[in-house]
């Protein structure tokens, strides 16, 4: 472009500048009409569009382009917009873990010997085998049976208390009936002692029953003990089989999948042993490590922060989740902090312990303007755009901008007081040509 201007420098400033603009716009025919007939025709007048208006500078940072020339140069404008694309932080590395709030450890309520491990309740699984790791269970399904002498003893204590209460109540009624039939036949002290016995028996029954309830026996189980005590009041009745009397069922405490099984028939277990671990795998925990320089941005966002989880072992798998907690401790070796959150796993594709990468998208920051990539002209020293303040005029103002983010089709710049803000129109088509032409125009005279 500068070579063309130098070549035409002998012809006059007006002709040369007009030729530069037209050559850059690709209008070869128009150039031929604007140039003089001979090499020495310096007095030939420059080309002037209809209406007599010329391409000219208007102050240090503005240029006025005739409408005809703007059309031939291919100038187009579009309004600047509010930011629409979120800020995407670099991916974090992490692993999947079992969500502690969606898991349960199953214990026996009483110590004892494991009699059996029950078959799965799922009708799609064979009932000839005991429940295994990976089987899906529902809350209340019986997983194992334990024989506990402690439970048998506590049930027997309630039966004994009920039997004594029944016998002492019978004795008290007879004494009271005898005293009514023959006044004075029964000493008052004897009646008081009989009533005290009945009261003590009632306390013993209540204590034994409360103990069983504290061990989480249901109303149905306690009523069965009461029924057994009533049945044993018959001298001809036989006691319940010990295996049934001391039977402790170990039920599933939640819906989920058996993740751990630590029990087999014949094991002696206590109330602290984890016989099974059940987990709900429809949602997993994510443990990721974030560099400390990214923490302030994450901590400034309201919880929960949305993120997406990708699994390198399953290309194309991308699931939504949320970041919920940022650790207050920084790893001094890696200078990272542990962040934890959740990811949905409805199809069960993700596995506990699997390696993942986590991406966080932050909302667009305030004070940014979204521009088409063609609107920003850069030369390595500065970035500029051309603003069209008046849609009815082709007076264009060159405005330097500060680029904050770049994409293939859009560029984000800081919203400045020089007119680059959402809603104003900026030049897209022909912006590069316009900058070159403006650089060749002489500065406007004061």
Number of helices (H), then strands (E), belonging to the chain: the values are 10, 25
Phi, psi values for residue 229, rounded to 5°: -65, -40
At 125 the pLDDT is 83
At 421 the pLDDT is 85
Q: CA distances (Å), 83 to each of 48, 371, 378, 383, in order?
A: 42, 9, 21, 19
> What does the pLDDT average to over 312-329?
87
At 252 the pLDDT is 94
Q: Which two tokens stand for residue 71?
A: 């059309």
For 53-121, give the DSSP string: ---EE-STTEEE--HHHHHHHT--EEE-B---SPEEPPPEEEEEE--GGGEEEE--SS-EEEEEEPPPS
Average pLDDT of the chain to the nearest whole number: 80
Residue 253 to residue 102: CA distance in whole angstroms: 11
Task: Kindly report whether the peptide bond that precedes residue 304 is cis, defined as omega within 30 degrees of 0.
Answer: yes
Residue 51 has pLDDT above 60, yes or no: no
Residue 397 to residue 426: CA distance in whole angstroms: 9
Q: What is the separation of C-alpha 436 from the centre of its chain, rounded to a whole number of angstroms?
A: 49
Q: Which two tokens stand for residue 102?
A: 């969606």
Pick from 13-17, 66-70, 222-226, 354-358: least confident: 13-17
> What does the pLDDT average to over 139-146?
93
pLDDT in tens, 395-416: 999 888 988 888 888 888 988 7
Domain 92-100+280-362 is found in CATH 2.40.33.10: no
At 25 the pLDDT is 39
C-alpha closest to that of 251 among 146, 139, 122, 121: 139
Task: Tell me the CATH class for 49-84+365-446.
Answer: mainly beta
Residue 421 to residue 80: CA distance in whole angstroms: 7
H/E stretch holding 14: helix 13-25
At 307 the pLDDT is 86
pLDDT in tens, 193-211: 888 999 999 999 999 889 8
Task: Look at the block and give the residue holding tokens 């080309």.
Answer: 47
pLDDT in tens, 108-134: 988 999 999 999 888 888 888 899 999
Listed in sequence order, the residues at least 6 apart from 18 whose beta carbon sits closer than 8 Å to its beta carbon are 34, 46, 47, 54, 55
What's the chain's length in residues? Answer: 446
pLDDT in tens, 148-200: 888 888 888 888 888 888 888 888 888 888 777 777 767 778 888 888 999 99
What is the three-state SS of 116-175?
A: EECCCCCCCCCCCCCCCCCCEECCCCEEEEEECHHHHHHHHHHHHHHHHHHHHHHHHHHH
- Eight-class DSSP state of 3: H
What predicted TM-score, i.e. pTM, was given to this entire model? 0.57
User: Do 377 and 432 contact (CB within 8 A), yes or no?
Assistant: yes
- Second-level CATH architecture of 108-146+249-274: Beta Barrel (2.40)
At 34 the pLDDT is 36
């Amino acid at each position: 472009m500068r070579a063309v201007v130098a070549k035409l420098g002998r012809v006059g400033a007006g002709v040369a500048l007009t030729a530069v603009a037209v050559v850059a716009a690709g209008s070869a025919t128009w150039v031929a009409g604007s140039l003089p007939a001979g090499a020495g025709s310096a007095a030939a007048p420059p080309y002037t569009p209809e209406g007599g208006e010329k391409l000219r500078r208007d102050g240090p940072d503005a240029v006025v382009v005739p409408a005809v020339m703007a059309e031939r140069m291919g100038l187009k404008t579009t309004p600047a917009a509010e930011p629409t694309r979120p800020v995407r932080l670099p991916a974090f590395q992490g692993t999947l873990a079992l969500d502690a709030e969606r898991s349960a450890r199953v214990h026996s309520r009483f110590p004892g010997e494991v009699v059996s491990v029950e078959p799965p309740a799922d009708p799609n699984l064979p009932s000839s085998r005991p429940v295994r790791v990976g089987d899906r269970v529902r809350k209340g399904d019986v997983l194992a049976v334990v024989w506990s002498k402690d439970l048998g003893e506590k049930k027997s204590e309630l039966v004994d208390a009920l039997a004594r209460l029944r016998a002492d109540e019978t004795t008290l009624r007879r004494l009271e009936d005898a005293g009514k039939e023959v006044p004075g036949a029964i000493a008052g002290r004897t009646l008081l002692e009989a009533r005290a016995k009945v009261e003590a028996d009632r306390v013993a029954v209540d204590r034994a029953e409360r103990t069983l309830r504290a061990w989480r026996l249901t109303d149905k189980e306690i009523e069965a003990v009461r029924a057994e005590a009533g049945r044993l009041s018959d001298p001809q009745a036989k006691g319940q089989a010990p295996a049934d009397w001391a039977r402790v069922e170990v039920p599933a405490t939640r819906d989920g999948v058996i993740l751990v099984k630590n029990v087999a028939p014949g094991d002696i277990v206590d109330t602290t042993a984890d016989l099974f671990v059940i987990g709900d795998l429809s949602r997993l925990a994510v443990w990721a490590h974030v560099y400390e320089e990214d923490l302030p941005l994450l901590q400034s966002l309201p919880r929960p922060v949305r993120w997406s989880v990708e699994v390198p072992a399953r290309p194309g798998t991308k699931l939504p989740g949320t970041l919920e907690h940022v650790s207050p401790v920084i790893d001094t070796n890696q200078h990272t902090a542990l962040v934890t959150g959740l990811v949905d796993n409805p199809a069960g594709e993700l596995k506990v312990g699997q390696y993942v990468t986590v991406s966080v998208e932050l909302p667009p920051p305030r004070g940014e303007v979204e521009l088409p990539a063609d609107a920003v002209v850069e030369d390595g020293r500065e970035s500029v755009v051309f603003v069209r303040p008046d849609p009815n005029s082709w007076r264009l103002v060159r405005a330097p901008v500060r680029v904050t983010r770049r994409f293939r089709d859009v560029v984000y710049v800081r919203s400045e007081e020089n007119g680059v803000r959402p809603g104003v129109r900026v030049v897209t088509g022909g912006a590069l040509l316009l900058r070159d032409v403006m650089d060749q125009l002489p500065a406007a005279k004061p």
